[in-house]
Amino acid sequence: MNMIRSTTQSSSSLILLYAFLLLSISLVTSSSEYEDDYNFLQCLSQHSDPSILTYTSKDSNFSSVLFSTIQSLRFYSPAIRKPRVIVTPLKESHVQASVICSKRHGFQIRVRSGGHDYEGLSYVSDVPFVVVDLSNLRSIKIDVENSTAWVESGAITGELYYRIAEKSRNLGFPSVFCPTVGVGGSFQGGGYGNMLRKYGLAADNVIDARIVDAQGRVLDKESMGEDLFWAIRGGGMSFGIVVSWKIRLVYVPTNVTVFTINKNLDQGATKLVHRWQEVASELPHELFVRVSISVVNSTTKEGQKTILASFPSLYLGNTENLLAVMKERFPELGLETKDCAEMTWIQSQLYINGFPVNGSLDILLSRNQVKRYAKIKSDYVKEPIPETGLEGLWKKILEEKSVARMNFSPNGGRMAEISECEIPFPHRQGNLYSIQYVVGWEGAGSEAAEPHIRWMRELHEYMTPYVSISPREAYLNYRDIDVGQSINGTATYLEGMFKR
């Protein structure tokens, strides 16, 4: 009994000692982290004015600020490392201070503008880090006379479109489809939308910028030099923090024409998509015909699903001219006058996002996002996928039990005329169209995500024979951390080659 009591006491003592050591380590770590955070904040106060806004985990609204512009719910959970500090600059000097102090105190910087990063790279890190959230830097100054504008990186695309339309009915800008995407991230990765065939990418129309470099200096196009100015327009976000951009606005007619044609498999969707591949990149520059693939209930087979191919389109001209072009170049789609609607360019931005075209334009100013669990991938296609390949693709999509869709966006036009060396965006001549793959699901955690992510990777593998190769191309703004890895997580150099 004494031996048992002694052993029990000894075990209890060890447990208490272990618990004490863990607590001591935790307290030391917490104390060290608190000191690091305090020193960082003190540094900020020394290098900026009192108006700078910061949040630490001790602040009651820290979580709400962090969550405010996170779109991908996969990267917001208690298990994922949070930033030590969130800085929300109100002016350039606040960005400078953030860079100087992060460097001085050993924090990595994550920069976010709209929060649409599909892999959470703008607000997740494996090492101690701070988030510089640019959402308060959203000034937009339109110069109608010179058809230019200065826009800060924290503005969303909808705000930019809205402010342009306030000043002119005949000016627009060729940027992304979604109005809640931040300007900063989209411009630095390229930024494409439904005027890319007429005017190229958003990045193609950047003519100046102001960037805070690693030394905390504010540089413009002249002082940063040609190489850095080249790199920030399509080459990603590791060269500094771009605070604002000077852009070239483009001409849009007083009225444009939009239409959407929907066809399921029973209505010949496969042949239409196959034909679309042959003509979409060769149509007049003013015409952008996209394809969106989704799964819907069959109208002829009760309880079954089928594929729906939608053709949402924008023509920078009137209905009469559009019908003449389509009759000559793509009669298979069967476009008629009743399918078309004329409206202003800014109303067409409402149309493509599913908003009422005669509703208030104020919806474009909303920063509210659809938050979701999702995985996204991308590809570029150089040769039409044969009908058998499309049929196999439809079969793969119908296997997914959750929400799956694909978007095909045509190249050609101005995109094929600009050299792939003009800016660091290589997906130009030779590409018929790009593909965006999307799968979404309900439920948090890896167990809920795993079957859908596995399906997405299998779909991507299926597409290998039909898309670009050596290297396989992917769109930088459609973040995908699988890029460079094989399906089993290993890859040779050649297998892992990607062009982004």
Give the DSSP per-residue string, 373-429.
Answer: EEEEEEEEESSPPPHHHHHHHHHHHHH-SSEEEEEEEE--THHHHS-TTSSS----T
Of 172, 86, 98, 116, which Cα lies nearest the Cα of 376? 116
Eight-state DSSP code of residue 489: S
Strand-pairing partners, residue 111, are 132
Active-site pick, 123, 315, 466, 478: 478
Contact 65, 55 (CB under 8 A): yes
Residue whose structure tokens are 């820290």: 62
Planar angle of CA 8, 10, 13, nearest 5 degrees:
110
Q: Write the CA distances from 333 to 278, 352, 356, 479, integer angstroms.
A: 13, 19, 25, 33
Eight-state DSSP code of residue 438: E
Residue whose structure tokens are 């863990």: 22
Q: Whole-angstrom Cα distance, residue 132 to residue 136? A: 11
Q: Whole-angstrom Cα distance, residue 361 to residue 354? A: 13
Q: Which residues of 27-58 are buried (b: 16+ CB within 10 A; e: fewer)?
A: eeeeeeeeebbeebbebbeebbeeebebbbee
- The stretches of 62-155 forming alpha helices (DSSP H) are 62-68, 92-104
Q: Is residue 380 annotated as a catalytic residue, yes or no?
A: no
Examine residue 471 and say whether the peptide bond preceding it is cis (omega within 30 degrees of 0): yes
Of 90, 91, 107, 92, which Cα lies nearest the Cα of 41? 107
Q: Whole-angstrom Cα distance, residue 485 to residue 481? A: 9
State the CB neighbour count (10 A cutoff) for residue 141. 12
Contact 339, 261 (CB under 8 A): yes
E runs forming strands in 134-222: 140-143, 148-152, 171-172, 206-212, 218-219
Q: Write the CA distances from 469 to 419, 420, 421, 431, 499, integer angstroms.
A: 20, 17, 19, 12, 9
Q: Is 412 exposed, middle or buried (0-12, 13-18, 19+ CB in 10 A)?
A: buried
List active site positions.
Answer: 478
